[in-house]
Structure 1
């Protein structure tokens, strides 16, 4: 079933995921925990890193490509390029830092602007990291859930340290990405009677 349906170098579907969020919220820690099953506490990222891993998604072999934008938050042009290349986004904040939660709205606006798509069409999860630091919590689960439902996305709390929900957020996001690709290919093949999705032209 997986043969030849993708134009990748391999026949495996490739899902491109971008880690987005303020510095210090645990983007790298979450990525490294997912990739290598290890918790790196003092990781000082200065440049973006890309990781690729073969996983089984609902019985199908696929590849996930994760771009950790660490250290690039302040370079708008670079960040826009990353956002443009992404198919799905994990929008992270730390539950121990309210400022990082506030910043997620701005990051989301930038993603919407760069992708030039209807907001409900962009696969995105809101992720509250560092759930193991409950005693230092500044963002309540209710507040974050309200924000996620306002955006029409899922909210999940994770801990890169204890590995809580780490696989869940990556796999749930891949499912969203896959769903979008399936519906787009249906549109392209004219299976849906809807008007063709208009492509944005690059200036």
Structure 2
């Protein structure tokens, strides 16, 4: 009877609270790890609003005087075209000054938001150099997901970079140009989601090519094993 009661308790009684919490945490962790992860790198001169854009996207907050001294990484679960995914954002802050660190960051990124301030023409000019650095580090890749972002569009009266000039440069590079405002949240979601779509499209294309090559190799291997009688 005692044995039967122990079996009944083990099978039918609910888990204790610590066990339930542990099981739920493990299931949540497993669920999150199975989601697609898109790695985004924020690139641009200091003071253009990279951190403000990131914090606005992450927490719906505008932080005007945020001055990071090191790179900050953020992760968020979002719904991209009906699919739950995770976005990992690296705000490079002042690390652009250190070539080795910068190259490692660029190498790990899957997509880039190349940010400048429309109120500072020098920051726009600097985007060309940042782009060249990305292309150099990612030289083995055919197409690199990248958007040019003109931030601080709410400061139209202080504009130094004409829309036509920025758009022309983006067209020359074959990328999209979007103007944003971290303060008013204008187009903030758009730039992150559009970049994630480009990253996703590239991954799908690479997987398709990889599967195609694998299939072709298997067919060739099968033919090589056959002989005509």
Alignment counterpart, residue 148 of structure 1, candidates 166, 170, 176: 170
In 1, Cα distance between equivalents of 2:118 and 2:131: 18
Q: Deviations over 1:139-186 (max 9, x none)?
A: 011000000000000000000000000000000000000000000000
Q: Are 1:54 and 2:77 an aligned pair?
A: yes
**Where do 5+ consecutive residues of structure 1 fail to align?**
1-7, 195-203
Alignment counterpart, residue 189 of structure 1, candidates 198, 204, 211: 211
Q: Deviations over 1:16-68 (max 9, x none)?
A: 00000000000000000000000000001100000000000000000000000
More helix by share: 2
Q: Are 1:103 and 2:123 an aligned pair?
A: no
TM-score (ref. length: structure 1): 0.89
The structure number with the bigger radius of gyration is 2
How many pairs are equivalent?
Answer: 187
- After TM superposition, the runs of 4+ consecutive aligned structure 1 residues lying more than 6 A away are 191-194
Name the structure 2 match of 1:123.
145
**Where do 5+ consecutive residues of structure 2 fail to align?**
1-30, 217-229
SS state at 2:33 partner: coil
Name the structure 2 match of 1:176.
198
Q: Write the mapping of 1:81-92 to structure 2, written as runs, cut at 5 A.
A: 81-92=104-115
In 2, Cα distance between equivalents of 1:117 and 1:132: 38
Q: Are 1:164 and 2:174 an aligned pair?
A: no
SS state at 2:178 partner: strand
SS state at 1:62 partner: strand
TM-score (ref. length: structure 2): 0.79
Q: Are 1:40 and 2:63 an aligned pair?
A: yes
In 1, Cα distance between equivalents of 2:33 and 2:66: 32
